[in-house]
Amino acid sequence: MIPGPLLLTAAAVRGWTWLYTLPLDAAAQHARRAEIASDLWEFQHDRTRDESDLRSALQLFIRAMLGVPDDLLWCCEQLPDHPRAIRPFAVIKVVVLITAASGLVVSANRPALDVARTLQVNVASTGWVAVSTKRTGDEIVPAVAFTLTNLADRATSALQVNALFYGGPTNHDEWGATFISVVGGRGLAPGATSRSVVVSAHGVNGRDDAGVARRLAILHIMIPETRVKLFVRHEGRWTLLAEDPIRPALLRR
């Protein structure tokens, strides 16, 4: 199946992001690539229903092209002030990237993996955790712990998850979305289960806090109903795999 224009354009943007972040350290690379992946997800899901795929792809392409100078300037700002020779490791990574791209071309004719049928989300627990923020201090936010299991007869590609927390009295209040990479480029082998992942509405791992338990007890578990939707991205396509309620209790990990 040939990907649509929007998926191809999004893949090109991710490839460009991967390329211009190669000279940076691993932490900066991961942060930038995760940020762009989250922006692409929001762009693909916020467009109106009557907007054509081609028109959306054109808008994304123009925005990406106009942002190239800013991308390069941002990359230069992350580098040390003194001049630096080209690192051999960066060259090796470029070669690996080209090799991986060649592999994608070779495997393009394979039937697409039906993620909705072959990828299983195992929600271990849901609840509320305390997170520390510089602006407001400790807060109680919803969180979910889960793993992914590959039920297919072949390995998957890399898997990313976007957890969307929402609910409240109107059932539309958004707590926020968290983007996280669950499985790397090697994919998830047939029958294998991924590492356990815990994500909260603020995108950080929660920590158990006795104060949280006391506050929940005082509130008598009267937190408005909250739910989480787990979207999985595989080979450029997003699929909703699970939707679960958040228990009005302290999350035990």
pLDDT of residue 129: 81
pLDDT of residue 146: 94
| Residue 134 φ then ψ, to 5° | -65, -30
- Judgement on whether residues 65 and 158 belong to the same structural domain of the protein: no
Of 46, 77, 109, the domain-final residue: 109
Mark out the alpha helices in the chain (DSSP H runs). 5-20, 26-46, 53-66, 68-78, 88-106, 115-118, 210-219
Of 78, 93, 109, the domain-final residue: 109
- Judgement on whether residues 72 and 156 belong to the same structural domain of the protein: no
173 vs 22, residue with greater confidence: 22
**Tens digit of each residue's pLDDT (9 = 90 or more) over 116-140:** 889 999 999 988 887 766 655 567 7
* Average of per-residue pLDDT across 204-209: 44
Range of the domain at 232: 115-245
- Judgement on whether residues 92 and 123 belong to the same structural domain of the protein: no
Under 8 Å CB-to-CB from 98, ≥6 apart: which residues?
none
pLDDT of residue 194: 93
The token pair at 166 is 């929402």
The token pair at 167 is 């609910």
